[in-house]
Amino acid sequence: MTVIDVEYEQPACSTRHAWARVPVEPSQSERMHLKEKITRLLKEKNAVMVSHFYVHPDLQDLAEATGGLVSDSLEMARFGRDHVAQTLVVSGVRFMGETAKILSPEKRVLMPDLDATCSLDLGCPITEFSAFCDAHPDRTVVVYANTSAAVKARADWVVTSSCALDIVRALKDAGQKILWAPDKHLGSYIQRETGADMVFWQGACIVHDEFKAFELQALKAEHPDAKVLVHPESPADVVALADAVGSTSGILKAAQSMDAKLFIVATDSGMLHKLRTLNPGKTFIEAPTAGNSATCKSCAQCPWMAMNGLADLARVLETGVNAIDVDAAIIPRARLPIDRMLAFTAALKNGQPVGGLIPHLGAA
- Determine the 3-state secondary structure of 113 from DSSP: coil
CB-CB contact of 61 with 37 (8 Å): no
Q: Which is nearer to ligand 13P, 91 or 160 (CB)?
A: 160
Q: Give 162 or 191: the residue with its C-beta nearer to ligand 13P.
A: 162
Residue 207, interface with ligand SF4 (CB under 6 A)?
yes
Which residue in 10, 104, 147, 161 binds ligand 13P (CB under 6 A)?
161
Site string for ligand 13P, 40-79 (x = CB under 6 A): --------------------------------xxx-----
User: How many CB atoms within 10 Å of residue 64?
Assistant: 15
Is residue 278 within 8 Å of 252, Cβ to Cβ? Answer: yes
The least distance separating ligand SF4 from the CB of residue 161, rounded to whole angstroms, comes to 9
**Taking a C-beta distance cutoff of 8 angstroms, is the pair 312, 112 a contact?**
yes
* Contact string (CB under 6 A) for ligand SF4, positions 25-64, x = contact: ----------------------------------------
CA 183 to CA 201: how far, in whole Å? 7
* Nearest-approach distance from CB 35 to ligand SF4, in angstroms: 24
Contact with ligand SF4 (CB under 6 A) among 18, 22, 110, 305 = 305
The only residue of 98, 113, 268, 312 in contact with ligand SF4, by rule CB under 6 A: 268
Q: How far is the CB of 92 from ligand 13P (least distance, A)?
A: 8
Q: In whole angstroms, how close is the CB of 62 to ligand 13P at the nearest point? A: 19
Residues in contact with ligand 13P, shown as a per-residue x/- string from 127 to 146 under the rule CB under 6 A: -------------------x
Q: How far is the CB of 49 from ligand 13P (least distance, A)?
A: 16
Binding partner of residue 119 among ligand SF4, ligand 13P, none, CB under 5 to 8 Å per kind?
A: ligand SF4
Q: Which of 41, 206, 238, 241 binds ligand SF4 (CB under 6 A)?
A: 206
Residue 198 or 205 with smaller CB distance to ligand 13P: 205
Pairing of strands 157-159, 283-286: unpaired
Of 56, 110, 54, 48, nearest to 79 by C-alpha is 48
Strand order in the sheet with 262-266: 244-245, 227-230, 262-266, 283-286
Task: Give the alpha-carbon dihedral of 298, 300, 302, 303, to 10 degrees.
Answer: -40
* Residue 179: CB minimum distance to ligand SF4, A: 20
DSSP string, 290-303: --SS---SSTT--T
**What are the distances in angstroms from CA 157 to CA 2, 137, 177, 342, 343?**
37, 15, 13, 10, 11
In the complex with ligand 13P, which residue's Cβ is closer, 121 or 314? Answer: 121
Q: Which element (helix H / strand E) includes 180?
A: strand 178-181
Q: 110-125 as b/e, with b when 16 or more CB fall inside 10 Å?
A: bbbbbebbbbbbbbbb
The residues, any chain, with a CB within 8 Å of residue 210's CB and separated by 6 or more, are 289, 290, 296, 297, 298, 299, 300
Among 53, 180, 200, 304, contact with ligand SF4 (rule: CB under 6 A)? 304
What is the binding site for ligand 13P (CB under 6 A)?
A: 72-74, 146, 160-162, 205, 233, 247-248
